[in-house]
Structures are given as C-alpha cells and as structure tokens.
C-alpha cells in the first residue's frame, strides 16, 4: 500500500471480492454431509463512496455473500481485498472490523433484549476500547443517536420497547459506532412497515453523504435498490449473473433472469407498462443443494440450450462496466 | 414522529441526570422489590440464613453438648427427652437457688441435647450443603454447557456423550455407592488436613454433586446457548469484533440468566433433599453433627411421644423450599423483560 500513488488510490476499489465461495456442510444422514453452495464463485468490486445494490430472490445467497465478505463466515474459497490489501490473518480481520460493519435484516433478533439502547450502540466502542472515559462514551453514543434521529431519552431503554423502525435506527447507529467506511446493509428495510421504508432509505442516503460511506445494499426488491444504488448486481442461486450501472440494468437488462425480474416490477405508467412485455418466471427456484449443472438459471430459462447445461457461463465484462453471465447473450435480442 | 427529533442539549442533560445508565441488573432488582410474594420469601430466606449463622454464636448450649453428662459426675438422665420449655430437675434446683437458666425452647432429645440449637445447626448444615452443592453444579454446568453449545463440533459431541452416560446412570444408586466409597477413602486421606473438620461425609456429598448433578444444568445451558447463538445480535457482536468469551459473557449468559436462576433456585432444595435422604441412610453428615434430614429421621424413633421433633425440622425444610421456589419465580419475572412489557 505504501508504494501506491494517490492516483492509484482514487481508482482503487474499496472492496474487491475475487472468486468467493461459501459452502455449508449439510448433514445428510449418519456421518454424511454434502455441501450447500450458498455462494458459488462470485467476483466484484465496490468503489469508494458508491452504493452497490445486490438483488435476487430470497435464498439466492445475498446474506451469505454479505456475511462472508465481512469474514463473519470463513470463506470456503476466494479472497477479499480491502483497499487493495488481502484480508487473511486474524489481525487483518480485527483491523477490518473497524472499517466494515453491517446492518441486519431483522431489527428484532439483531438487538440483544438484555441490553439498553445505549449499550447496544456502544458495544463496538466497548469492544475496541474507543473511549477514555465514561463521559466520552456517553457523548459518542448520544451523537450516534442524533445521527440516526433517535431521541436521547431513549438511551436507557430496552430495544423491545421500540417500534421496528426505531429498532432499525438503533442497529444503524451501532453500525456507525466505529466510524466505518463500508457498511453491508442486509435488507435493512424489508422487515419494516412500507410507510417508513422510504424514511429509513433516505436516512441511509443522508448518512452516506455526511460520512462518506460505501454501501453494499442488499434487497430482494429491485424497486428498493433502484432508488439508492449507483450500480446493481443480480444474484441467482449463489451465482452473480449481472452487474452494471443501476439505470442501465434497470432500463436495459441483459441476462434473461434480470429481464424477468425487471418485467415483474410494477410500472406506474400504463403506457410504459403496456409496451413492456411481461416475462413470467415459470417454475420454482431450485434448491442450492441440487443446483442444475451448467448455467444455474437454465431450468427456468426459455433460451436454454445444451451448451447451457454443459458449461457454466463465464461472468464477463460485456460492455465497459457491464458484466453478465450468459452463453447466448448475443442471440437474445427482444 | 416526535421520537425522531434530534436531542436538544437540555434533553441530553435530562438523560444524563435523570436516568443514570440503568443496567439490566438494576432494573431487575427494582422490579423484584415490587413483587410482594418474592420479597417476603426473600426475607424469610434471609432470616433463616442469618439465624442459622448467628444463633449458634451466642446460644448457651452446644449442638453436641449432652447436658446431663458433665465429666466427673454421674450421668443425669433428667435432661433427656424434655418437652418444649420444660426444665430438668437439676435446672429446677438451680432456679430455686435464684440462678437463671436458659429455657429449652424445643426441649431436648433422647441424649439430653438442646433441640433448638440442633435444629438451628441442622438448618445451617442443610443450607450450606444446598448452597455450595448448587454453586458447584452451577459452575460446572455453565462451563461445560456454554463450551459445548458455543464451540459445537467435536467438543460438543464428546461433552454431550459424557453427559448422556452420566445421565443414564441410576442416580440414587450412584449417589449411595459413591457416598459410601468416598467416605471410606476420604476418611483416611483427610486425617491431619484442615478439611478433616468439615467431615468426610460432607465432602463426599459435594463430590457426588459435582460428579453427578451438573449434567442437567449443562444440558439446559447448552440448549439455551445453541438457540441464542443463532440470534443476529451475536453476529452483530462478531461484526463489531467481539471474541467468543465476550459474546458468551455479554450476550449468551445474560440471556439465559432466568433459566440459570430458576434452575439454581430449584437446585438448592433438591440438594437439601438429597442431603436429607443420605443422612437418613447414615451416609449424610457425620454423627454428632445434625442436619434437617438427620433430625427428621432420628425423630422417627420416638414419633408417638415426641411428634414435634419431626414436625419442626419438616416445617423448616418446607419453609426453605417454598420460599426458595417463590423467590425463584419472582426472579424469573423480574429478569425476563419480555414478560414485563
Ligand atoms: N449458516 C447456514 N448453514 C447452512 N445453510 C445456510 C446457512 N446460511 C444460509 N444457508 C443457506 O444458503 C442459502 C442462501 O441463504 P441466504 O444467503 O440467507 O439467502 P438470501 O439472503 O439471499 O435470502 C439458503 O439456501 C440457505 O438455506
Ligand atoms: S446461459 Fe443459457 S440458460 Fe443461462 S441464462 Fe443464458 S441462455 Fe439462459
Ligand atoms: Mg437474506
């Protein structure tokens, strides 16, 4: 790192994921186990200051990807780089923890019912000994609470006394405690009431500007990420199938799966809606325990050929900054 | 919407001064003190415990002192089997001479020992055995259970198989066998050590508890830890960089505290019962030393003439057990915020 120039640093992605695999051993009768390939060879970069939206159906491995890129699971294979530095040893991970945090999907189980709001938010500070006196700790916690719009009176209360939206604010304040520069937001609004989803998303936006944060923003709903993301990545069954600028992916999806997803998003303008041909996703998403050979999407893809069953399509750059994994990309025109 | 307005300086001040960071423990104690039944039980336990500790210090009679036998004089059988508040003929003579004689509140037993002090002393022994045995069980159970639950894998499998083996042993039989074997070996081993005074029987009782009774506690804790470990706040702590010991200490144990408290509250009376039946079989505390259990069993001999000798220790046992249980319930209610909206 020391020899790199400032120019390099400006261009260097904050997070690089290279061929990340995360398999879980699933017990299968006595002494037998087989791997559940929750994340199977994904690679992508996240640039400083951007929001990368990660979408895909429930169970496709988004959460797992987010967690193993934070080294919350030990990756089965692959590398994660933070500002060009490989995260590998325990010391690397410990250092990484001060820079990369997470907001969890479930605002209920992610807050310890035994702790007060102040102690929950202060936990990362406690773990890293990031204060020299009790007053400093309290001051830091109150500042964090202010950032996420929580009333300071709430500091001494227990999380179960709060609504989902307020609980999620507590979770966000906790993720900000160490003053990170990268946050994995794992479906942070999907458990919330629709009426406050926008509020919380706007808050993420404001915090990003104020604190110069980079997000990996996970959602199963394209509408949610479209608003906040600079780029969007689409996952299917542990694989990444498409990645590109948010507007591009949204207005001109390339991968058959993305096309189907986008066409399923309700469009407010009836003319546009009529012009869009709806591509129905038929069939069920296969279990990651017996994923199809070749292209993971082939069981539901109307363009599938023999080649799709035989070879895994490579996730490659098809246009500048646009990645897609499909054998028949050139032939699909409609 | 008011909830989302940023704090003003005065509000911060208010929070700092009015609610000095109440901990979970303080809140629990506050709730507990509002519970009448639990508070009364707590005072009963405290009263009995203090009495058991302090009464023997100033009571004029010793628990092993046979009042009718003074060295160098013929045995005075008038001291034996006195009814409550009765005096022996010797004492009556003394009183006629104007001397003050301390009354025998509960009478004396067949060997002329003051029964009140024996009950008090027996309570002391029973409480001590119950308390320390439960502490031993608790510590071993928590350590094994949380290691097993948190580490998982091979460690878990090995520990749980050991638990299964101990669990499947018939415990009455094991307790009796262990107690009698240990008594013999310990007797010889303890001579000359400070432990000799405590008595081989009590020590073997503790060992029996340490060896056998931790298993259900360990299982309980492991089950709790296993389910708590899946909670996202554990993952959140890991994201913050917390190590295993931090997570166990700050999240897992506090979250199974109610289970720990309830089972400890139940462990103490069960330990007292075990001690009682071992005493009844002659495997409990060493001979002159009384425990509530041995007092009750001794009383069986003269049951028709002196029923109070059975009734008194029985009432004390019931009182201890009942108040421990009620107090345990109160603790559970106070320390489980989910029940307290
Ligand atoms: N700890 C785990 N052990 C075993 N299987 C898991 C574990 N976590 C996730 N999975 C499996 O991995 C797949 C992907 O899960 P997840 O990453 O949670 O998906 P998503 O967040 O996209 O809904 C699912 O099939 C899920 O059952
Ligand atoms: S590789 Fe084949 S099966 Fe997979 S998306 Fe492309 S066309 Fe469909
Ligand atoms: Mg998920």
Determine, yes or no, domain membership for A116: no
Order of strands across the sheet with A182-186?
A100-103, A182-186, A214-219, A51-55, A231-236, A239-245, A322-324, A316-319
Give me the number of domains chain A comprises.
Answer: 1
Position with higher pLDDT, A215 vs B84: A215
CB of A238 closer than 6 A to ligand 1?
Answer: no
What atom in ligand 2 is closest to the CA of residue A303?
7
The residue of chain B with its CA nearest to that of A156 is: B21
Helix (H), strand (E) counts: chain B: 15, 0
Cβ of A116 within 8 Å of Cβ of B23? The answer is yes
User: How does pLDDT run across B182-226, given as a tens digit for each residue?
Assistant: 777 877 777 777 666 667 777 777 887 788 888 988 998 899 888
pLDDT at residue A3, rounded to an integer: 45
Alpha-carbon gap, residue A285 to A60, rounded angstroms: 9
Indicate which of A90, A151, A170, A177 best probes the interface with B, i.e. most B CBs within 10 Å of its own CB: A151
For A334, counting Cβ atoms within 10 Å of its Cβ (0-12 exposed, 13-18 middle, 19+ buried), the class is exposed
d(CA B213, nearest CA chain A) in Å:
29
For residue A316, give its domain range: 3-99+180-332
Confirm if A236 and A325 have CB atoms less than 8 A apart: no
CA distance A284 to chain B (A): 28
Cβ A112–B23 below 8 Å, yes or no? no
Architecture in CATH for domain B34-57+115-339: Orthogonal Bundle (1.10)
Backbone angles phi, psi at A185, to 5 degrees: -105, 105
Segment B224-281, tens digit of pLDDT: 888 888 889 999 999 999 988 899 889 988 888 777 877 787 788 778 878 877 777 7
In a domain, A313, yes or no: yes
In a domain, A305, yes or no: yes
**Range(s) for CATH 1.10.3720.10 in chain B?**
34-57+115-339
Q: Do residues A324 and A316 lie in contact, with contact meaning Cβ atoms separated by under 8 Å?
A: yes
Tokens of B92: 């009556």
Q: Does A59 sit in the ligand 1 pocket, CB within 6 Å?
A: yes
In angstroms, the separation between the Cα of residue B255 and the nearest Cα of chain A is 6
Closest ligand to Cα A314: 2
Token pair 């259900």 in the structure block, residue = B216
ipTM: 0.85
CB contacts of B240 in chain A (<8 Å) are 97, 101, 123-124, 127-128, 174, 177-178
Q: Tell which of B16, B17, B233 to mutate to test the A interface (max A CBs under 10 Å).
A: B233
Confidence (pLDDT) at B158: 92
Within a domain: A34: yes
d(CA B286, CA B199): 6
Q: Do A153 and B11 touch (CB under 8 A)?
A: yes
At B21, is the pLDDT very low, low, confident or very high (cuts 50, 70, 90)? very low
pTM of the model: 0.75
- The verdict on the CB of residue A105 being under 6 Å from ligand 1 is no
Output phi, psi for A255, to 5 deg.
-70, 140
How far is residue A76's CA from residue A218's CA, in Å, rounded to a whole number?
A: 21
Residue closest to A192 by CA, chosen among A108, A66, A67? A108
Ligand 2 atom 6 nearest Cα? A326
Q: What pLDDT score was predicted for residue B75?
A: 73
Look up the CATH number of the domain holding residue A266.
3.40.50.300
* pLDDT tens per residue, range A265-314: 766 666 665 665 666 677 778 888 888 999 999 999 989 999 999 999 99
- Which is more confidently placed, B198 or A53? A53
Residue A257 lies in a domain: yes
* Ligand 2 atom having least distance to the Cα of A305: 2
Distance (Å, rounded) from C-alpha B84 to C-alpha A133?
63
Residue-wise pLDDT for A168-211, tens only, equals 999 999 999 999 999 999 999 998 888 889 889 999 999 999 99
Nearest CA to CA, how far is A60 from chain B (Å)? Answer: 19
Distance (angstroms) between ligand 1 centre and the Cα of A133 equals 41
For A11-50, the pLDDT digits (tens) are 789 999 999 999 998 877 667 778 899 999 999 999 999 9
Establish whether residue A64 lines the binding site of ligand 1, counting it when its CB lies within 6 angstroms of any ligand atom: yes
Name the strand (E) or helix (H) holding A30.
Answer: none
Return the residue whose CA atom lies nearest to atom 12 of ligand 1.
A38
């Amino acid at each position: 790192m020391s020899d790199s120039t400032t120019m390099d640093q400006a261009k260097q992605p904050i997070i690089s994921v290279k061929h990340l695999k995360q398999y879980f051993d699933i017990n299968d009768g006595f002494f037998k186990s087989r791997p559940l390939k929750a994340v199977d060879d994904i690679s992508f970069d996240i640039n400083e200051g951007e929001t990368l939206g990660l979408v895909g159906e429930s169970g496709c491995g988004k959460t797992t990807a987010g967690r193993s890129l934070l080294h919350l699971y030990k990756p089965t294979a692959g590398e994660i780089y933070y500002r060009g530095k490989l995260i590998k040893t325990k010391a690397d991970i410990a250092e990484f923890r001060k820079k990369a945090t997470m907001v969890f999907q479930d605002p209920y189980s992610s807050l310890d019912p035994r702790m007060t709001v102040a102690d929950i938010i202060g936990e990362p500070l406690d773990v890293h000994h990031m204060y020299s006196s009790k007053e400093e700790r309290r001051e830091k916690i109150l500042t964090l609470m202010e950032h996420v719009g929580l009333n300071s009176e709430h500091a001494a209360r227990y999380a179960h006394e709060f609504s989902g939206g307020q609980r999620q604010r507590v979770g966000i304040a906790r993720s900000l405690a160490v003053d990170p520069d990268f946050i994995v937001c794992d479906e942070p609004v999907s458990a919330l009431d629709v009426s406050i989803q926008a509020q919380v998303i706007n808050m993420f936006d404001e915090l990003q500007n104020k604190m110069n944060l980079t997000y990996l923003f996970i959602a199963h709903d394209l509408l949610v990420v479209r608003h906040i993301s600079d780029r969007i990545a689409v996952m299917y069954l542990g694989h990444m199938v498409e990645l590109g600028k948010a507007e591009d992916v949204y207005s001109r999806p390339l991968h058959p799966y993305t096309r189907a997803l986008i066409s399923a998003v309700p469009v407010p303008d009836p003319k546009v809606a009529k012009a869009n041909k709806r591509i129905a996703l038929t069939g069920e998403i296969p279990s990651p325990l017996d994923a199809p050979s070749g292209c993971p999407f082939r069981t539901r893809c109307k363009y599938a050929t023999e080649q799709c069953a035989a070879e895994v399509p490579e996730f490659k750059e098809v246009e500048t900054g646009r990645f897609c994994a499909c054998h028949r990309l050139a032939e699909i025109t409609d | 919407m008011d909830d989302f307005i940023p704090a003003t300086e005065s509000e911060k001040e208010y929070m700092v001064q009015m609610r000095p960071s109440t901990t979970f423990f303080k809140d629990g104690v506050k709730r507990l003190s509002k519970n009448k039944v639990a508070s009364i039980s707590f005072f009963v336990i405290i009263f009995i415990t203090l009495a058991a500790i302090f009464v023997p210090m100033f009571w004029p009679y010793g628990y092993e002192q046979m009042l009718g036998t003074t060295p160098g004089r013929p045995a005075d059988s008038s001291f034996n089997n006195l009814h409550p508040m009765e005096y022996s003929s010797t004492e009556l003579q003394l009183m006629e001479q104007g001397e003050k004689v301390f009354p025998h509140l509960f009478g004396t037993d067949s060997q002329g020992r003051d029964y009140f002090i024996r009950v008090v002393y027996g309570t002391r022994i029973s409480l001590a055995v119950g308390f320390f045995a439960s502490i031993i069980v608790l510590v071993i159970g928590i350590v094994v259970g949380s290691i097993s639950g948190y580490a998982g894998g091979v460690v878990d499998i090995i520990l749980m198989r050991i638990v299964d083996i101990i669990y499947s042993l018939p415990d009455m039989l094991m307790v009796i066998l262990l107690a009698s074997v240990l008594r013999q070996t310990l007797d010889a081993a303890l001579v000359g050590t400070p432990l000799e005074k405590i008595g081989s029987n009590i020590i073997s009782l503790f060992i029996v508890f340490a060896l056998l009774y931790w298993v259900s506690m360990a299982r309980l804790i492991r089950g709790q830890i296993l389910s708590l470990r899946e909670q996202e706040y554990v993952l959140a702590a890991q994201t913050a960089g917390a190590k295993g010991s931090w997570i166990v200490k700050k999240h897992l144990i506090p979250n199974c505290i109610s289970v720990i408290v309830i089972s400890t509250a139940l462990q103490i009376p069960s330990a007292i019962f075990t001690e009682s039946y071992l005493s009844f079989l002659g495997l409990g505390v060493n001979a002159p030393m009384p425990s509530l259990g041995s007092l009750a069993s001794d009383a069986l001999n003269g049951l028709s003439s002196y029923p109070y000798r059975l009734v008194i220790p029985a009432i004390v046992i019931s009182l201890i057990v009942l108040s421990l249980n009620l107090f345990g319930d109160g603790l559970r209610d106070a320390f489980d915020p989910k029940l307290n909206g």
